[in-house]
A = this chain, B = another copy of it.
Amino acid sequence: MKQTRYRQIYNELKSGIQQGRYMVDSYLPSENDLCATWQITRTTARRALDELQKEGFIERQHGKGSRVKERRQSLGLLTVKGFSEAVGQNVNTIFFKNPHIVSWPGILPFATEEAELQQPCIHFERVRMVGDMPVILEQDWLSATNLPGFVGLEFEEGSFFKTLSRKYLIEITSSEQELRALPADTRSAKLLNIRPGAPLLRISLRFTTSKPGLNIYSYLYCNTELYPIGNTYTH
């Protein structure tokens, strides 16, 4: 498998960022430094940085350099960060079921790949709270492929995606989602402390990752009465 030159540099810088060798808000080596270190021209160095910029790892400032950015944690509608920011302070997450091995559930939000079902299935469930108020019930399933030690692992800063990125160098590459407004069933109504039959927003998600064969399936049951789900997309 031939790697292009700019791709090598891109990979090296990216894992440097993911593993914290380049900290958030610090600067990457300048383009000229990269040229000297890697024996390349500026075109190639810039090409590597272009990719990192496009993917949101860095931000470039004319006359200063390439600064490592705080990365978005996921694609799609809702992010841990987005949730916390949207509702302000006082966000807590409690695990209702810690990550553990289960057999694959019969119904999932999206079609699974055959290879996945051969692997063990990791499942966890948690509730997002604002203060004392439960707001979102989240259920996740994923195959245990390439995730040694995941069960029992503490999430970094409470974030599943941050953990995937830092510990396993796995990034989310795309997401697919489906939205429904549903009447709450008895179980979710109880967990979210609302009346059964009250309108709930269900966000079904399927994330694909940079690890082939590893996808993440999620249901988010959201009580949007006090805290609607919001997001911004920039072209």
Chain B residue with Cβ nearest A234: B174
With beta carbons under 8 angstroms apart, the residue of B174, B179, B199 that contacts A230 is: B179
Contact of A233 among B171, B175, B182, B224 (CB under 8 A): B175
Closest to A235 in B: B173
Q: Looking at the assembled complex, report how far the CB atom of A227 sits from the nearest CB atom of chain B, in whole angstroms.
A: 10
Please tell me which one of the listed residues B55, B173, B222 contacts residue A181 in the complex, with CB atoms under 8 A apart: B222
**A164: CB under 8 A from chain B?**
no
Q: Does A130 contact B (CB under 8 A)?
A: no
B residues less than 8 Å from A175 (CB atoms)? 232-233
**A91 CB to nearest B CB, Å:** 18
CA distance A222 to B178 in the complex (A): 13
Q: Is A16 an interface residue (CB 8 A)?
A: no
Q: How large is the interface on A (under 10, 10 to 19, 20 to 34, 35 or more residues)?
A: 20 to 34
A233 CB, min distance to chain B CBs, angstroms = 5
A162–B161 Cα distance when bound, in Å, is 36
Q: How far is the CA of A231 from the CA of B231 in the complex (A)?
A: 15
Whether B75 and A233, one on each chain, are in contact in the complex, defined by CB atoms closer than 8 angstroms, is yes
Copies in the complex: 2
Which of A10-59 touch B at CB < 8 Å? Answer: 43, 54-55
By a CB distance below 8 angstroms, the chain B residues around A137 are: none
Binary B-proximity of A211-235 (CB < 8 A = 1, otherwise 0): 0000000000010110011111111
Confirm or deny: A129 has a beta carbon within 8 angstroms of a beta carbon on chain B.
no
Question: Is there an interface contact between A176 and B232, defined as CB atoms closer than 8 Å?
Answer: yes
- Does any Cβ of B come within 8 Å of A98's Cβ? no
Query: Does A177 reach chain B (CB closer than 8 Å)?
Result: yes
Q: Give bound CA distance, A231 to B203, whole Å.
A: 11
Contact of A179 among B76, B179, B183 (CB under 8 A): B179
Complex CA gap A225/B178 in Å reads 12
Q: Which residue of B lies closest to A231 (CB)?
A: B177
Contacting residues, chain B, for A77 (C-beta < 8 A) = 77, 179
For A171, give the chain B residue with the smallest CB separation: B235
Residues on A lying within 8 angstroms of B by beta carbon are 43, 54-55, 75-77, 171-183, 199-201, 204, 222, 224-225, 228-235
